[in-house]
Amino acid sequence: AQSVAQPEDQVNVAEGNPLTVKCTYSVSGNPYLFWYVQYPNRGLQFLLKYITGDNLVKGSYGFEAEFNKSQTSFHLKKPSALVSDSALYFCAVRDMRGTYKYIFGTGTRLKVLA
Q: How far is the CB of 2 from other proteins (least distance, A)?
A: 10
When the beta carbons of 34 and 74 are compared against other proteins, the nearer one is: 34
| Positions in the binding site for other proteins (CB under 8 A) | 4, 32, 34, 36, 42-46, 49, 51, 90, 92, 94, 99-107
Q: How far apart are CA 7 and CA 2, in angstroms?
A: 16
Cβ 46 to other proteins shortest distance, Å: 5
Please report, in angstroms and rounded to a whole number, the separation of the first and last CA atoms in the chain: 41
Q: How far is the CB of 37 from other proteins (least distance, A)?
A: 11
- Residue 44 CB, shortest distance to other proteins, in Å, is 4
Angle at 19 between CA 16 and CA 25, to 5 degrees: 165
21 class by beta-carbon count within 10 Å (0-12 exposed, 13-18 middle, 19+ buried)? buried
Q: Which is nearer to other proteins, 13 or 57 (by Cβ)? A: 57
DSSP 8-class letter at 75:
E
Q: Which is nearer to other proteins, 10 or 17 (CB)?
A: 10
